[in-house]
Amino acid sequence: MRRSWKILSAFLLFAAVLYVTGAVGAIDDTLRFYVRVARLYTQTPDATLAMPFTGVSKKQIANTWHAPRGTDRIHEGQDIFAPQGTPILSATRGLVYKIGENNLGGKTVSIIGAGGRVYYYAHLDSYAPQLKEGDYVTTRTVLGFVGTTGNAQGTPPHLHFGIYTSSGAINPLPLLTDRTTTATRPRQVNRLPLNRRT
């Protein structure tokens, strides 16, 4: 009986420490995020995607899919050119999966959309203010701004836009559609709070 009380006391102390330090909230946030991701995986992938910019049409894009990149790789996406600092809009609804930097893409944002597709936005000059991993985004959400980070240094400013599925990269160009000029203005972040505790 004493051993049961010791175990229960240790568990309660551990739970109190987690609660006081905020770890419970972080665990709760993580679980909510993965539940939302699981829901996205059950949905049918988008048949069309909104152009990541206003004022750029599909016919202005030179197809760079599978263009050679050096001697050992091919281009797995589309380069969409726009002036430095142009706002980049999400091409689909989804969740911000990752915000970070790497050697090739420079500053990047990855969005998980319906069907579990990952939409990859690279070479950003900067991120949208307050954009956080776990945020829900729509086609009106600004993700960041056009730049030349990563291996795009020394090239004209552009967005590298890639789509990744469980079976590999797919060409974004056939899915892209022009944004209408009557579309509503872009929003910065459409935040769904993961943790409602204050």
Domain boundaries, the chain: 2-41, 49-177
Q: What are phi and psi of 113, to 5 degrees?
A: -115, -170
For strand 78-81 and strand 87-89, is the pairing parallel, antiparallel, or unpaired?
unpaired
Report whether pLDDT(188) > 80: no
Identify whether the C-beta of residue 129 lies closer than 8 Å to the C-beta of residue 174: no
Report whether pLDDT(190) > 60: no
Q: Rounded to whole angstroms, how far apart are CA atoms 13 and 61?
A: 59
Tell me, what DSSP letter sits at residue 141?
A: B
Average pLDDT value for residue range 62-79: 71
Q: What percent of the chain has pLDDT over 70?
A: 72
Provide the pLDDT for residue 151: 87
Provide the pLDDT for residue 10: 62
Regarding predicted confidence, which is higher, 197 or 31?
31
Average pLDDT, whole number, for the chain? 81
Half-sphere exposure of 83 (CA within 13 A, CB side): 3
Q: Rounded to whole angstroms, how far apart are CA atoms 43 and 115?
A: 5
pLDDT digits (tens, 9 = 90+) for 21-56: 665 556 667 778 878 888 888 999 999 999 999 888
Q: How confident is the model at residue 185 (pLDDT cuts 50, 70, 90)?
A: low
Q: How confident is the model at residue 96 (pLDDT cuts 50, 70, 90)?
A: very high
Fold of 49-177: Glucose Permease (Domain IIA) (2.70.70)
Regarding predicted confidence, which is higher, 56 or 198?
56
Most confidently predicted of 52-56, 120-124, 184-188: 120-124
The pTM of this model reads 0.78
For strand 176-177 and strand 49-50, is the pairing parallel, antiparallel, or unpaired?
parallel
